[in-house]
Structure formats: structure tokens, C-alpha cells
Amino acid sequence: MTQQYKPSFKQLHQQQKPLRLTNIWDSASAAIVQQAGAQAHATSSAALAWANGYADDGSLPRQVLLAAIERIMRITNIPLSVDIEDGYTKNPADVASLVQQLAALGVAGINIEDGVDEPKLLVDKIKAIKTTVTDTDFFINARTDVLLRSLHFKHTQTAEIKSRAQLYQTAGADGIFIPGLEDEQTIQHLTQAIKLPVNIMTESAEKNLEALTKAGVKRISLGPNPFIQAYTALTAPHSATLDYARLNQLLS
């Protein structure tokens, strides 16, 4: 019997249509999304932290993260990318050690962000990861928070994103994640200027899919939205509003 070919996680970023990821947070959400026909999994750092009793602020303990990922890996047979925020430390060697442990569990890639730190710190972290994790199929998705955190004046943000993308690519990143990027004209400009696959975050993977495909987007993430939508059902009797800020406050 001929074994069915399955593309690697890297290859899934080279399809005509973007790779659509319904971000998960535990084994149950992974099993449900996989059963629905997903090509790959990606955790939401916020949703995974909340599911384990922590706010989305870098406070999730390393061993809690690893245990949660081990449980997800037990039931999934599609590639899994793990969002590790900024690596939970400013020490590149410690970040690389964490990523090596995730790779040993079978994880196919990571998201790692620059946040409010200078780009050089993420460059050093990516370089340390590349030195430590030698699997050439391992995917490093470098997230820049220029838009999400309004780090620059609006008229310089696009230039800053392109500058950081070049730095992260040179360091060894395989993709660029730009949360907060919504304008289709700017998306197209950046996908043409950035040589790596561009990842955006949206509330619906199907919304404007044709336009995003035409604009050159290669990966669409839903972030914490699936978690928020799922857990909103628990607030129905009390008519409470559930959003990112409320969840983070509840678990701080």
C-alpha cells in the first residue's frame, strides 16, 4: 500500500492559498480541529496560558508549557507550531534550550516575538535557535509587534517592519508574522518586499480569503479568538462580555 504524501510544515507555507490555522490550546481543541481537516496546528500563546491558569504576560512556567505541548503531541498527527511569546527570557541560550526541548517532543516550529525589545535581541535568539536546533525543516516564525504595540509613528511603521523582517531573515527566520496588519494595500506591499512567507492574524480564516491570497499572504492565524468564542458560552447565563482584556485580568 502506497503511503499518502504529507507536505512538511515548511512546504505548507508555499501553497497557492494561505495556510489557515485555527489556533488551539489543549488536547481537546487539537483533536477537534484535526478532525475538521486542518493541515497543521498552532497554539495561541494567550489561549494556552489561560487554559493553564496564567495570564498572557510571559509568566507561563517552562515546565507547564512543555507538559501542555506533550499532551497535545500525544493525540495529533499533523504538524504543530508553538507560540512561545518572547521565549520567556531575554537570554538567547535559554530560549534555544526551550526550543530544543520542544523540537524533541516533535514540534514542527515556533512563533517568537520581538515585543518592545530592540530587534537585535530577537536576532540573537533566532541565531541561538538555529545553532541549537539543526533540523532544517524546523520553522521559525518571527513575529514583529511594530503594529500591535504601535512602536513607531504611523508613517514609519511599514519601513520599520521591512527593516526588521530583513534582520530576522538574515538571522535564520523562515517566516514573518505581523499581527495588526489589516490594510490589503499595505499587506500586498509587504508581501512583495519581504522574501519570507508573511503571516497575518484575523478573526476569520475564510474572511477575505480570495483577496488575501491575491495579496500574497501565506499564513493566516486566528490567535486567541477561537478560545474566546468557545469560552463565551460559559458567560451566557450572566450576559458578561468576554474578551482578551477580561480573560487576562481574570487570570492575572
Residues of the chain with pLDDT under 50: 1
Number of domains in the chain: 1
CATH of the domain at 145: 3.20.20.60
User: Would 34 be classed as within a structural domain?
Assistant: yes
pLDDT score of 1? 47
**CA dist., res. 177 & res. 220, Å (int):** 9
User: Would 176 be classed as within a structural domain?
Assistant: yes
pLDDT score of 153? 85
User: Would 137 be classed as within a structural domain?
Assistant: yes
User: Would 133 be classed as within a structural domain?
Assistant: yes
User: Would 169 be classed as within a structural domain?
Assistant: yes
User: Would 148 be classed as within a structural domain?
Assistant: yes
pLDDT score of 56? 95
For 151, the domain range is 11-250
User: Would 2 be classed as within a structural domain?
Assistant: no
User: Would 5 be classed as within a structural domain?
Assistant: no
pTM: 0.94
